[in-house]
Structure 1
Amino acid sequence: MDAKPDSKQAAGQIRLMGFDVDGTLTDGGLYFGNDGEVMKRFSVFDGQGLRLLMDHGIKVVWITARSSTIVEKRAKDLGIYQLVQGCKTKLQAYDGIRQSLGLEWHECGFFGDDWPDYLVLQHVALAATTPQSPAAMKKIANWINTRPAGDGAARELCDFILGNQAGHINPWESQ
């Protein structure tokens, strides 16, 4: 593996951004009732960040080891490019999407928080993780969020990516 680029440089080249779901887009809690999973909490703030990425031409994909109709609904509501659920080999799934889009690894990023995400994080240019991730994950990451998972962590990452894209103008910055 080549050394990871600086996170700002990597963010500036992103054309495909992948996300794990539980522990990055949600707080990682699983809420079960008698009939199975009944609830996941997603942040509207994070959702807006994902929409901003997509509005700027960045493909957003979710790859998760679990399967949930709740996740499917949220991905559909946001217009996520591709959702892969029940995935045991995230690197294979991500690489297939990357290749289908004709992208190189230096144009790719992923936000993951645990071992099933490790191999993807090794390959992508922008490897994002959380402070709660295992030490080995943090060691290969070149960006670690500060906001809580499921409560602004994804938005923080989206804003970081967009802030480093050439020609991106932040409408909230003073002129």
Structure 2
Amino acid sequence: MDQSTDREPTAAQAAAQIKLMGFDVDGTLTDGGLYFGNEGEVMKRFSVFDGQGLRLLMDHGIKVIWITARSSTIVEKRAKDLGIYQLVQGCKTKLQAYDEIRQLLGLDWIECGFFGDDWPDYPVLQQVALAATTQHSPAAMKNAANWINTRPPGDGAARELCDFILSHQAGYQNPWEAS
């Protein structure tokens, strides 16, 4: 199967089976910018809206992991605040890190998804069932994906993906539609 043109399963089919959802950080959960102050500190902007989406995934029993090439105490704090299952920072081989977590949880690739936006994420997108990327990603990333967001990274992109996944999960009741 040529994954760049004929992804199986479809994004909706994959979303229905997700038990482990991985996220890159910079450029998906943030706008990808790094803000430096006079003392050299780096700041990142996270969306509370995206954070609520991640919480909804976790509340539904989906394990959420973050795998990022950079290391930051800011990312560590945000992951802890949200209760992220596992954070892997300073990661040079994201596929290997993802695969180790997947195996520890006893999951098949068909139960896995990843949201990434650039080349370090590409091998993971080629392997998971739900391969998500952003509109600003390189063309090869978009070709490897079976889901592309419409919201800006760091400003609703992750929430859009979380809502998509949950809308296809059996037994999920949208709290805003509950009667």
For normalisation by structure 1, the TM-score amounts to 0.96
Q: Retained in 2: the 8 A contact 1:30–1:37?
A: no
Count of residues paired in the alignment? 175
Q: Given the superposition, is the C-alpha separation of residues 82 and 174 from structure 1 closer, same or farther in structure 2, using an over 3 Å criterion? A: closer
Equivalent AA in structure 2 for residue 38 of structure 1 = V
Instruction: State the SS of the aligned residue for 1:66.
Output: coil
Confirm whether residue 35 of structure 1 aligns to residue 34 of structure 2: no
Which runs of 5 or more residues in structure 1 are unaligned?
none
Instruction: State the SS of the aligned residue for 1:36.
Output: coil
Matched residues, percent identical? 85
Equivalent AA in structure 2 for residue 133 of structure 1 = S
Match of 1:11 in 2: 15
Match of 1:115 in 2: 119
Report which stretch shifted further, 15-24 or 162-171: 162-171
Match of 1:98 in 2: 102
For normalisation by structure 2, the TM-score amounts to 0.94
Instruction: State the SS of the aligned residue for 1:133.
Output: coil
The one of 59, 62, 65 equivalent to 2:63 is 59
Alpha-carbon distance in 2 for matches of 1:128, 1:36: 33
Task: Kindly report the root-mean-square deviation, in angstroms, between the aligned alpha carbons of the 2 structures.
Answer: 1.3
Match of 1:133 in 2: 137
Alpha-carbon distance in 2 for matches of 1:62, 1:134: 21
Alpha-carbon distance in 2 for matches of 1:169, 1:122: 30
Match of 2:80 in 1: 76
Alpha-carbon distance in 2 for matches of 1:58, 1:134: 28
Which runs of 5 or more residues in structure 2 are unaligned?
none
